[in-house]
Structure 1
Amino acid sequence: MSQQSFPIASDLNATWSFIQPGLEFILGAQGDQGVTSKMYMNCYTAIYNYCTTKSRNSPNTGASSHSMIGGSSNNSSYSLAGAEIYSKLDDYLVSYISGLKKSPNESFLEFYVKKWTRFTIGAGYMNNVFDYMNRYWVQKERSDGRRDIFDVNTLSLLKWKFNMFNNNANQLISEVLELIEKQRNNEIVETNLISVAIKSLVFLGIDVQDLKKPNLVVYIKHFEQDFLNSTADYYSKESINFLSQHNVVDYMKKCETRLAEEISRSNNYLEDHTKKLLLETLNKVLIKDHAQEMYNQFLGLLEQNEIDHIQRMYKLLSRVPSTLTPLADTFEKYIKEEAAKAIEEIKKSSDNSVESKTEGNAAAGTGAKVTRRAASGAINPKTYIHTLVNIYYKFREIIVAAFDKDPFFIKSLDNACAHFVNNNSIALPTPKSPCKTPDLLAKYADGFLKATGKEQETADMNADHLMVVLKFVNDKDAFEEHYRRLLAKRLIHSNTKSDELEEGIIQRLQDENSLEYTSKMTKMFQDMKASGDLKTHVKDQLGDNNYIKDFTPLVLAQSMWPFNYSEDYELKLAPELLPAFNKVEEVYTKQHNGRQLQWLWNHGRSEVKANLSRKGKPPFIFTVTNSQLVILLAFNKKKSYTLKELHDIVGTARHTFEAHLLPFTKYKLLDQLPPEPDAFTKDDTVFTIVDEYKSKKLKVSFVSSIKTEQKQEEDDANKEIDESRKNYLSASIVRIMKARKKMKHNELMNDVLLQAQSRFRAKIIDIKRVIDFLIEKEYIRRCDNDSYEYLA
């Protein structure tokens, strides 16, 4: 094509004859030989000349009537030309595409991909060749509403779709899916064929109403569903076959490999729309359909601590969230069972220990009552709490390592812990007994907070373990009561390891619960500080003329401390003690006029220097109760007393006096005459202080062996807890009713249960009793239709 051979610009047939050979080269009709730059420019120029020349002529030159800009036919009229050459191109593309034939030695897919690739390249160049027509005539037609007119590139793709793809879609997709299956079977295939063929479906999804809008209708209709169905069928058969010959662990590894392969392949040739559906299909046939087989192996893997395999199972099942529920339920059930076994072992070990003591007691001729008492307190708090903590830590580590800290499994662990902490053979020996875990937890805390010489026994006890178990305790109010009682004993006996440690625990309890939860404990420390100041004032006023070398009076607010006044301990103070105690009352009364003091003699402790050792050796230091102190001071006046004389001197209730006297005879500080056990409680039995006390220790405590009212203390604690709960429920009901004025019974019950949940698990029967109490006191009244009304 030379510059001189250009056709007459207004001659359509001449122009088309001039450019057609160039279009052949552009579209690849001449094999691999492409178009030269000169040929390309000649085609472009010829089309440009035709369109511009025709547009200057009248409408009668063949331009579409839609393109006319004036109604007259004189030389000044102007319209955009392009309809005739556009029609020529349309016919040519149909003819060209219909004439494409595959060679005998190639598959249709190979033929399609080769021709499509060349055709789309050519269409791009051809679009540039017809650039002038695209920019003016095509654009004008489409702006006028013609949706059957397209730019040349789009027109080319549409002709390909109607004349090539539509006629061969089934065969093309079938061969694509065959190739994908071969690839899954690890056969070597040309992946480019798959990729190009699938991408062509995307390009052919043209929205004629909006050419710029992405459209996957062809891709979805002809490929996506067939692909997903074939994938499901393939992996369904493979998974069933594989599981029939391999174990579940191997199957899970196979699943991981297959999923990785499919994800890699999908990134190469699938649209994002299909990727999600593909994963859903794979997850169903590979995981969900075989979840039961995995569940069946889960317990075995847990028992063998196969963390890697458990993690593999979790990662697979987590792809289908609904399949995790049975796994989490099994996990929770397993934790409960393991906890029950571990706690049962403690109980058996404790029972065996008690039986051994029973046999020893029987041999020594002691009674069965001691055995029952030993059995009731036989559980070691440290062993029990550490067992609970170890179970928690063990399964928390599994959650971190195998379940990726999944909140679903954390909840299962929390549910299991809440169950076995509050409901086990030790915590609830009988269904109606109060849970013993709060009491044992408080005793555990007392073990490492109390000053003791046995540091090695408490080295592994700490506040972290305390807080872990407390988190799951239902009756936190019961723990608070038991903890406060033991704290009170540590404080009044100056038996705390350190104030900083004590206050640190209280701060953590406050952070985990509320300021109200620890308010009484905080006030107890304030009382101890105030008592220290009182001690200083009293000591300064007494001076050195005091029989007592050192003493610490403790003034404690009755409402904050868990101590009750008892007439059984109405002690007659020895004359030697009176000056100090009178001075305390005098100083305190001056500071706080109108306050009444009640001495709780049963809670005091004293150290007495006793010159009863062998000559030349230092004196003994006896730790005694206040009642025992008065008994011993009496022996400074004479060596022997009858039981009645001693009781008159001490003044407490008879059974209390005898309980405090018994350790002196038991540990041979006092000789009893007559010595028979039955004579101990007779008025005329004589008790004489020994001249020389036989003990290898210089410090001897007579306090620990007193048959204290442990049962009474436990009853007092339970009574206090019950009373506190009644008050809490009463306040909650009044508060709720005051705000709501009128409520249905069930609504009120639910609100009260919800409010009480942070402190304790309220029982329905207790709430009903409190409601009856408030009705009786006229805070609320019962209305018809099962509701209550607040009375102002």
Structure 2
Amino acid sequence: MFWFWGLRNYGYSSMPMGEREIICFEQGWELMQKAITKLKNILEGLPEPQFSSEDYMMLYTTIYNMCTQRPPHDYSQQIYCKYRETFEEYITSTVLPSLKEKHDEFMLRELVKRWAIYKVLGRWLSHFFNYLDRYFIARRNLPRLNEVGLTCFRDLVYKEFNGKVRDVVISLIDKEREGEQVDRALLRNVLYIFVAIGMGQMDQYENDFEAAFLKDTVAYYSQKASSWILDDSCPDYMLKAEKCLRQEKDGVSLYLHSSTEAKLLEKVQHEFLSVYATQLLEKDDSQCHALVRDDKVEDLSRMSGLLFYLSKNKKRFRLLFKIPQGIEPVSSIFKQHVIAEVTALVKQAEDAANNKKKDLVGLQEEVFVRKVIELHEKYLAYVNDYHTFRKALKEAFEVFCNMGVSGSSSAELLATFCDNILKKGSSGKLSDEDIEETLEKVVKLLDYISDMDLFAKLYRKKLARRLLFDESANDDHERSILMKIKQKCGGQFTSKMERMVTDLTLTRENQTSFEEYLSNNSHANPGIDLTVTVLTTGFWPSYKSFDLNLPPELVKCVKVFREFYQTKTKHRKLTWIYSLGTCNISGKFEPKTMELIVTTSQTSVLFLFNSSDRLSYSDIMTELNLTDNDVVRLLHSLSCAKYKILNKEPNIKTISPTDYFEFNSKFTDKMRRIKIRLPPVDEKKKVIEDVDKDRRYAIDASIVRIMKSRKVLGHQQLVMECVEQLGCMFKPDLKAIKKRIDDLITRDYLERDKDNPNLFRYLA
């Protein structure tokens, strides 16, 4: 180990210039030559005492004095030349002879050794001659001392040996490629010399080593690839290619300069993929579709990754031959395979629906959605890292999402599936974590739904039912999926649904206040247990409102709650939605008393029979103030369905205006508590009608927004911008857009240009 001191400004003679003894050049240089010889002996391992701080100060002062004497005794230029000669002499007498007698790997070791000694020599001499660097060289704009040393080594050693050194290094790298052990530290140190000689530039490294190394790499892997492509299957070939790429990438980090990585990997990729892309895709025993079909995820991912690299860098590869461009053929095969699998699932679901009873159709649809989710998650593992594959998967699942199953759109299937997951008792043995994971997977499928407005309308309606009828299994799950949908589709998409959940929270607080009000006001007693859910208009789906004639017991309840609500606010109006109400009433039958869970309308019908034994259809309709359709549904649920609370004359399954009804006092059931449901109403048609109406408004608003900002626009451009604006919610029909444009012209929002009928102007 060599010790040297980090001293810069050492003490020197403070004697005035006129009184200082003049040092002649021969005398001063003889002193420096002895010190240099001693330094060389130390570096070569010969027995010499180390330099002391006094020795160092004396040598520095000598150089200082020789450079600051008045002309003609200022020897700065001569000392600068001697500095260079010192290096040249050391190289000629010591470095070159030691290198010439070594060969192959031994030459590399000697070169590294000599380079290390040479750098130490340079550091010591630069300290001795530091005054030159600080003043003389700076004033004359000459090469600095460290540059002089590097230049001497480059001109006398590097230029003579770099070719031999390069060949030995490349041969060692080839040996390592073949599995032999080599000294990686030696390779790293040798290649560092190529970089250091450039003095901040990469010319020597790139021209004298890298170019030949890359050429050798091409030749090496060209021979390997030509052999492997004939003997190996596609997966085996790709496995070997991946191993080679990893090995080359490791080599960069271990001994090559980092700037070589991109060039090196490009060459290797070219030899393995560009040259043999066609053969890889056409191998009979290992086609890409076979990899997809047989779930060879690792093999396909490997192939996709390599071809993706090729595709991403195709400009640099400059392919001149007719081969498929990178990953596109693989992604196309992948896309067709996924479409085929999803189509098969759709057909399987339709066949099952046609062969099963109606009450099993919902179950079959749920099974179908679960299979689609599993399929999506399976293929999502293929595509996470590759944009082209993600695009192929998206296009494949968009085909399914626009296909529909047994008359149900994908938007409807997903909304129903979410409803089943979130309902009480519907999640089966699923844990909270499983439910969250399933909901996360469902939300991923929303990326492929083109009718997001239909999904939103259906989901909102089902959410409302879960909340209003206490069918939701867990409020946290409800909020969680809304948050997931919000992140996917934006806050506007879920704003009303979030307010619905908030409304239910406020309702619980409101009910607590109502109960406190009843306990503090003895006159305000509804006579029965009453729970009222107050909803905010605009957030909830629209429900049919009608003036039902309530029985006196329920009229009193309405009055009491209205009085309570007026104590809280006088600026809001309560509109009662009787179609959403439920009542628990006691039915006193001869066999036993039973609890009936019925709607508010059904309650009103049954209460009529407290004062009458027999009522006609027209009597009931008049008493309740309902329409024919509503009365038919009510009476059918009470007299023709599963639970016959009323006897009907004539005793047939249909309701007509000539029918008469009596209370069935002999009714009984094995259960003491039964729920009597109204006949289901097909809300799907109504929802679709509402969605179509909303779409007309959305198209109108989009056209007006576009024209208001553009003022004048051509028909095609207007349609394109409208489709782009609305694409996140639904895919607008071009005929519908044209129809809405004509309607806006009729309503004086737009006008056609007189000279060009395909040009529209906005009318402010």
- Which residue number in structure 2 is paired with residue 157 of structure 1? 153
Say if 2:674 is the partner of 1:700.
yes
Paired residue type of 2:763 = L
Q: 2:750·2:760 contact (CA, 8 Å) conserved in 1?
A: yes
Checking the alignment, whether the CA contact within 8 Å between 1:329 and 1:412 is kept in structure 2 is no
- Corresponding residue SS for 1:480: helix
Q: What residue number does 1:665 align with?
A: 640
Which residue type is aligned with residue 522 of structure 1?
R
Q: Quick one: distance in 2 between partners of 1:78 and 1:767? A: 93
Which residue does the alignment assign to 1:478?
454
> 8 Å contact 1:55–1:81 — kept in the other structure?
no
Alpha-carbon separation, structure 2, partners of 1:489 and 1:175: 80
What amino acid does structure 1 have at the position aligned with 2:640? T
Taking the aligned partners of 2:572 and 2:704, their CA distance within structure 1 comes to 32
CA contact (8 A) 2:369 2:414 kept: yes
User: 1:550, 1:50 → 2: CA distance?
Assistant: 109
What are the Cα deviations for residues 305-364 of structure 1, in whole angstroms up to 9, with x where unaligned? 55555665566667657256666666566555444444443333233213xx6xxxxxxx
Distance 1:102 1:585 in 2: 106
- The 1:742–1:177 alpha-carbon spacing in structure 2 relative to 1, beyond 3 Å, is same
SS at match of 2:491: coil
| Paired residues of 1:421 and 1:469 also in contact (CA < 8 A) | no
Cα deviations by residue, 1:586-609 (Å, 9 ceiling, x for unpaired): 859988999998776555444443
Q: Relative to 1, partners in 2 of residues 1:675 and 1:282: Cα closer, same or farther, differing over 3 Å?
A: same
Q: Superposed, which structure 2 residues align to 1:508-587 within 5 Å?
A: 513-514=490-491, 517-519=494-496, 522=499, 525=503, 549=528, 560-563=539-542, 565=544, 573=549, 580=556, 583=559
Counterpart position of 1:383: 367
Residue of structure 2 equivalent to 1:349: 352
CA distance in 1, matches of 2:415, 2:103: 82
Indicate how the Cα distance of structure 1 residues 120 and 556 shifts in structure 2: closer, same or farther if over 3 A, else same. closer
The match for 1:423 among 402, 413, 426 is: 402
Cα separation, 2, equivalents of 1:195 and 1:490:
69
| One-letter amino acid of the counterpart of residue 673, structure 2 | K
Residue pairs, 1:96-111, within 5 angstroms: none
Q: Structure 1 residues 80, 307: closer, same or farther in 2, change over 3 A?
A: closer
Q: Does 1:181 align with 2:181?
A: no
Superposed displacement of residue 228, structure 1 = 0.6
- Report the counterpart of residue 720 of structure 1 in structure 2: 690
Shift in CA distance, 148/94, structure 1 to aligned 2, threshold 3 Å: farther
* Distance (whole Å) between structure 1 residues aligned to residue 412 and residue 302 of structure 2: 42
- The alignment partner of 2:674 has SS state of strand
Aligned partners of 1:333 and 1:416 also within 8 Å = no
Q: 1:282 to 1:714 in 2, by over 3 A?
A: same
Partner of 2:228: 242
What does the per-residue CA deviation read over 1:435-472, in whole Å, with 9 as the maximum and x for residues that have no partner?
Answer: 733333443444455556x7748878846644643443
Give the deviation of 1:232 after TM superposition: 1.0
Deviations 1:277-321 (A, max 9, x none): 323323333456556677766655555555555665566667657
Q: Does 1:439 align with 2:412?
A: yes
Mapped partners of 1:724, 1:789: distance in 2: 25
**SS of the residue 1:700 aligns to:** strand
**Cross-structure match for 2:596:** 622
Contact 2:252 2:261 in 1 (8 A): yes
Partner Cα distance (1:148, 1:600) in 2: 94
Pairs within 5 Å for 1:638-677 = 639-640=613-614, 652-663=626-637, 664-667=639-642, 668-671=644-647, 675=651
2 CA distance for matches of 1:219 and 1:270? 10
Paired residue for 2:442? 469
After superposition, the Cα gap between the structure-2 partners of 1:777 and 1:96, relative to the gap in structure 1 and judged at 3 Å, is same
Q: Following TM superposition, by how much is the alpha carbon of 1:236 offset from its aligned partner in structure 2, in angstroms?
A: 1.6
Q: Distance in 2 between matches of 1:508 and 1:88?
A: 76
SS for the counterpart of 1:620 is: strand
In the TM superposition, residue 515 of structure 1 has moved relative to its aligned partner by 5.5
Partner AA of 1:483 in structure 2: Y
Q: After the TM superposition, which residues 108-127 of structure 1 pair with which residues of structure 2 at under 5 Å, given as runs?
A: 121=117
Contact 1:670/1:688 (CA < 8 Å) preserved in 2?
yes
Which residue type is aligned with residue 264 of structure 2? L
CA shift digits 1:702-761 (9 cap, x unpaired): 424x2x431xx2222222222223333333444454455555555554554444344333
Contact kept, 8 Å, 2:596 with 2:676, in 1: the verdict is yes
How far residue 234 of structure 1 moved from its aligned partner, in angstroms, is 0.5
Report if the CA contact (8 A) 1:451-1:497 is conserved: yes
**Which residue pairs with 2:210 in the alignment?**
224
1:676-706 per-position Cα deviation (integer Å, ceiling 9, x unaligned): 66xx5566665554442243223334424x2
Change (3 A) 1:85 1:541: closer
Residue 772 of structure 1 is matched in structure 2 by 742
How high is the sequence identity, in percent, across the aligned residues?
A: 19
Q: Which residue does 2:589 correspond to in 1?
A: 612
Alignment: residue pair count: 708
Q: Deviations over 1:207-261 (max 9, x none)?
A: xxxxxx3344344323321211111110121123134333444444434543454
Distance 1:177 1:441, change over 3 A: closer
Counterpart CA distance in 2 for 1:553 and 1:693 is: 31
Give me the whole-angstrom Cα distance separating, in 2, the residues matched to 1:302 and 1:530.
Answer: 56
The Cα shift of 1:787 comes to 4.8
Partners of 1:50 and 1:438 in 2: CA distance: 89
Summarize the Cα distance change of 1:692–1:246 in structure 2 as closer, same or farther, 3 Å threshold: same
Instruction: Give the structure 2 partner of residue 42 of structure 1.
Output: none
TM-score between the two structures when normalised by the length of structure 2: 0.69
**Following the alignment from structure 1 to structure 2, what is the Cα–Cα distance between the partners of residues 580 and 131?**
106
Inter-CA distance 545–325: structure 2 relative to 1 (3 Å threshold): closer
Query: What is the TM-score when the length of structure 1 is the normalising length?
Result: 0.67
Distance in structure 1 (CA, Å) of the matches to 2:291 and 2:267: 27
**2-side partners of 1:224 and 1:247: how far apart?**
33
Superposed displacement of residue 611, structure 1: 2.5
Contact 1:198 1:270 in 2 (8 A): yes
Distance 2:122 2:562 in 1: 116
Letter in 1 for 2:690: E
Structure-2 separation of matches of 1:121 and 1:590: 98
Q: Contact 2:80/2:132 (CA < 8 Å) preserved in 1?
A: no
1:33 CA displacement: 10
The equivalent of 2:763 in structure 1 is: 791
CA contact (8 A) 1:674 1:686 kept: yes
Aligned equivalents of 1:77 and 1:345: distance in 2? Answer: 101
| Paired AA for residue 419 in structure 1 | E
Structure 2, unpaired ranges of 5+: 1-23, 51-57, 313-325
Asked whether the 8 Å contact 1:601–1:626 carries over to 2, the reply is yes
Unmatched 5+ residue regions in structure 1? 1-8, 39-44, 57-68, 206-212, 358-373
1:59-90, CA deviations, whole angstroms, 9 ceiling, x for partnerless residues? xxxxxxxxxx87xxxx8898854699799989
- Alignment check: 8 A CA contact 2:700 2:740 kept: yes
Instruction: Give the 3-state SS of the residue equivalent to 2:636 in structure 1.
Output: helix
| Root-mean-square deviation over aligned CA pairs | 6.1
C-alpha distance in structure 2 between counterparts of 1:335 and 1:562, whole Å: 37
The CA distance in 2 between the partners of 1:293 and 1:35, in whole Å, is: 68
Measure the CA separation in 1 of the matches of 2:372 and 2:456: 19
1:43-54 counterparts in 2 under 5 A? none
1:621 counterpart SS class? strand
CA–CA distance in structure 2, aligned partners of residues 307 and 131 of structure 1? 63
Mapped contact 1:474–1:760 kept (Cα < 8 A):
yes
Change (3 A) 1:535 1:764: farther
The alignment partner of 2:596 has SS state of strand
Alpha-carbon shift at residue 644 of structure 1 (Å)? 5.9
Provide the residue aligned with 2:265 in structure 1: 279
Q: 1:35 to 1:248 in 2, by over 3 A?
A: farther
